[in-house]
Amino acid sequence: MAGKTVSGVGERPLIELITRRLSRPDQVILGVGDDAAALCCPPGRLLLTTDMLVEGVHFRLGFGTPGQLGYKALAVNVSDIAAMGGTPWAAVVSLALPGTLAADTVAALYEGLDRAARRFGLAVVGGDTVASPGPVVINVALTGYADPEAVVTRRGARPGDLVYVTGSLGAAAAGLFILETPGSWPAEAAAFVCRRFLEPEPHLEGGRLLAAGGATALCDNSDGLAQEMHDLGRASGVGCVIYPERLPVEEPVRIIAAAAGVDVWDWALTGGEDYGLVACVPPDRASALENSFREAGIPFTRVGEITAGEFWTVWADGRRRPLVPAGFKHFSGDQGG
Amino acid sequence: MAGKTVSGVGERPLIELITRRLSRPDQVILGVGDDAAALCCPPGRLLLTTDMLVEGVHFRLGFGTPGQLGYKALAVNVSDIAAMGGTPWAAVVSLALPGTLAADTVAALYEGLDRAARRFGLAVVGGDTVASPGPVVINVALTGYADPEAVVTRRGARPGDLVYVTGSLGAAAAGLFILETPGSWPAEAAAFVCRRFLEPEPHLEGGRLLAAGGATALCDNSDGLAQEMHDLGRASGVGCVIYPERLPVEEPVRIIAAAAGVDVWDWALTGGEDYGLVACVPPDRASALENSFREAGIPFTRVGEITAGEFWTVWADGRRRPLVPAGFKHFSGDQGG
């Protein structure tokens, strides 16, 4: 396959070659290669989600390795399952590929998909591969399952609930900044944040702890905290107060922000693609959940409260400003969405 | 929304507006609007399939209405579930949309999706909408279910099995020819074949009859009979003989072929996107299945046999020629796949 293009190998033989290596966990009755895959039905509720990544909008092939791209395409869907308190089960992958693309690139992309599948315990069981007249397009659809009593939506937040985030914020935005801005950046910090953008970590264990621990509303942080709070707030019919200086920001993000002359709270408040979770927790369940997260070794930080009013930030010096849903522009070439 | 573009309305508000109208069958616990949809688990085996349609490869916006495009995007996935002997359950839809596209086009596309969803008894429960720097891309992923004892794959064909097709062949290829070839064609026949290309009919009932009736191998006819026989034969480790003159071809297809100076058997053998089923049936189960199809009023035609050898056509005059897997080029702009 070395040196050949997608057109040269042919999409169908190429995918047959590549998918032979995919892991095949126990839930798979019939995997890649038939009209549809056949699986054992998972226990509880069936979850279903999908995400489409478009070259020039969500990624550039030069930003990371093709393996990282494959990994991310699956990881962002796993994050959606985590945000329901669920467990991933099986995925299908559609690829639109320009004929001139190197076959090795597609093989590496699938290696990344398989690495993510093994890591998150799910099966890649099929897909579709088609020609693209333009950009590479990757679509992953993922099934998962959850305890019927513990599916956590965006709709259950109530005034008085405490707002928590898992993991940290702003690292993916800092990574995207580095990838878009050639220059001499502090090397260690730059490598850290780039990796966070290129290989985000879905918070499956955090989602399960929150579902079991009685979170009232839950979503993943794909579009930036400000946007997610607006979406969750609108779904629940509530508002919120966020305390920006409480947002968990790791040292490499501060280093890059300082070097770039960027306000680190901008990245923490509006930077997307961190793929931690945003959770609303009634005060009487908060300390038990904090203990669970401490035992699991997962950062879990209280950053605000749900209110009956609008969306605000309140700063340490007492300033009060609207929480602006800046939305997350994937990068400067973005046309929205 | 009249006169506005996707960029003008914004992808997120646009989709929120449109998806409110979607049907919501009983299996839906949580539909569009959260990180993932939540559904009742279907009975039996879980089926999962996906298909990606790319503007300029699989469709042109001018070929039919946007509603027909939405309908087809779902119907081709339903056909994959039919080809497993299954029943569709729930789908997610990803759209990559150029910002300049008319918002009304997207609304009409969703109306077509919803029309197909209602017709085939499934739920559209979510998706992803993103910007496209180039073509419109539509990806549908569909779950379904089947009796664990009656999931029919492509792998079970045995020498001596009879080969049947459901429905008729060549109409979609004739329709595509008309859409690509401006001219003065017999109007009624042209309308018939264009509709077959633009709104294919998945054979769910036929798939269930074949699964229950002991078909040994089954696939849908998306890439043309010749290609499908090669795929099915390779999966089963068998060959076949096809009798072209036995292939069921409807009168409008013959009329268009005659007017176009095209060999109608070319369309019947290699034309794709008819989305009927191709089935292998042991001789001792054939007459019972023929009776079932007759009672159901579904055309079911014996067109060949499975052999231990290669892939051949045998003509009425005794000629014997290789069955060439011409593959289906979606249209002349196709780059393969």
**Residues of chain B contacting residue A204, judged by C-beta atoms under 8 Å apart:** none
In a domain, A45, yes or no: yes
Same domain for A145 and A168? no
pLDDT at B148 exceeding the cut of 90: yes
More confident position, B27 or A215: A215
Binary contact (A50, B235; C-beta < 8 A):
no
pLDDT for residue A54 = 96
Which residues partner with B280 through β-bridges? B163, B217
For residue B163, pLDDT beyond 60: yes
Task: Note whether B13 contacts A: Cβ–Cβ < 8 A.
Answer: no
- Give the pLDDT score at B327: 54
Q: Identify the closest residue of chain A to B76 by CA–CA distance.
A: A35
> CATH number of the domain that B295 lies in?
3.90.650.10
Nearest Cα of chain B lies from the Cα of A147 at a distance, in angstroms, of 11
Residues B144 and B210 in one domain: no
Q: Is the pLDDT of residue A2 over 90?
A: no
Burial, B195: exposed, middle or buried (Cβ in 10 Å; 0-12, 13-18, 19+)?
middle
Partner-chain contact A131 B57, CB within 8 Å: yes
State ipTM.
Answer: 0.93
Question: Is residue A63 included in any domain, yes or no?
Answer: yes
- Is some CB atom of chain B closer than 8 A to the CB atom of A25? no
B175 lies in the same domain as B317: yes
pTM (predicted TM-score): 0.94
B125 plus B189 within the same structural domain: no
Show which of residues 45-84 on chain A sit within 8 Å of chain B, judged by CB atoms: 45-58, 79-81, 83-84
Average pLDDT on B199-224 reads: 97
* Confidence label for A337 from pLDDT (cuts 50, 70 and 90): very low
Q: In this complex, is the C-beta atom of B337 within 8 Å of any C-beta atom belonging to chain A? A: yes
Please report whether residue A289 resides in a domain.
Answer: yes
CA distance B319 to chain A (A): 31
**Is B128 domain-assigned?**
yes
Percent of chain B with pLDDT over 90: 86
H helix count then E strand count, chain B: 11, 13
CATH number at residue B113: 3.30.1330.10
Mean local confidence (pLDDT), B244-264: 97
Q: What is the pLDDT of residue A326?
A: 73
Chain B nearest C-alpha distance from A150 (Å): 11
The verdict on A11 and A88 lying in the same domain is: yes
User: For residue A332, is it within any domain?
Assistant: no
Among A118, A150, A182, the domain boundary falls at: A150
Q: Are residues A47 and A116 in the same domain?
A: yes
* pLDDT value of position B271: 93
Query: Are the beta carbons of B247 and B165 closer than 8 angstroms?
Result: yes
Examine the domain organization and report whether A197 and A290 are in the same domain. Answer: yes
| Nearest alpha carbon to residue B32 among B18, B43, B42, B46 | B18
H helix runs in chain B, sequence order? 6-9, 11-19, 66-82, 103-120, 171-180, 187-198, 204-212, 225-236, 251-260, 264-270, 283-296
Per-residue confidence (pLDDT) for residue B307, from 0 to 100? 98
Both B109 and B192 in a single domain? no
Flag if B45 and A40 touch (Cβ within 8 Å). yes
Which one of A36, A135, A333 has the shortest CB-CB distance to B134? A135
Q: What is the pLDDT of residues A44-95, one digit of tens each?
A: 999 999 999 999 999 999 899 999 999 999 999 999 999 999 999 999 999 9
Restricting to A residues 204-223, those with a Cβ less than 8 Å away from any Cβ of B are: 218-220
Residue A336 has what pLDDT? 32
Share of chain A above pLDDT 90, in %: 86
Q: Is residue B156 part of a domain?
A: no
Which tokens go with A227? 């946007």
Provide the β-strand partners of residue B55: B59
Residues A174 and A145 in one domain: no
Cβ contacts below 8 Å, chain A against chain B, sum to: 259
Q: What is the pLDDT of residue A21?
A: 79
Contact at 8 Å (CB) between A198 and A63?
Answer: yes
Residue A157, in any domain of the structure: no
**Mean predicted lDDT score pLDDT of chain A:** 93
Which pLDDT tens digit goes with each residue over B13-50? 888 778 887 888 999 999 988 999 999 999 999 999 99
Q: What is the Cα–Cα distance from B106 to B111, expressed in whole angstroms? A: 9
Q: Are residues A122 and A197 in the same domain?
A: no
Select from A150, A172, A201 the last residue of a domain. A150
Give the residue-averaged pLDDT of B250-267: 97
Based on the fold, state whether residues A127 and A168 are members of the same structural domain.
no
Report the residue of chain A nearest B99, measured CA to CA.
A335
A36 and B144 within 8 Å at the Cβ level: the answer is yes
- Residues of chain B with C-beta less than 8 angstroms from the C-beta of A86: 36
The total of structural domains in chain B comes to: 2
Residue A245: pLDDT over 90: yes
* Residue B142: domain span: 6-148
Q: Is residue B330 part of a domain?
A: no
Q: B325 or B214: which carries more pLDDT confidence?
A: B214
pLDDT confidence of residue A132: 94
The pLDDT value given to residue A251: 98
**pLDDT-derived band at A108, boundaries 50, 70, 90:** very high
Considering just the CA atoms, what is the radius of gyration of chain A in Å?
20
The verdict on A119 and A198 lying in the same domain is: no
Q: Does A326 touch chain B (CB under 8 A)?
A: no
Domain boundary (A150, A179, A198) is at A150
CB contact under 8 A, B139 and A94: yes
Mapping DSSP to helix (H, G, I), strand (E, B) and coil, where does residue B187 land? Answer: helix
Task: Determine, for residues A36 and B7 on separate chains, whether the beta-carbon distance falls below 8 Å.
Answer: no
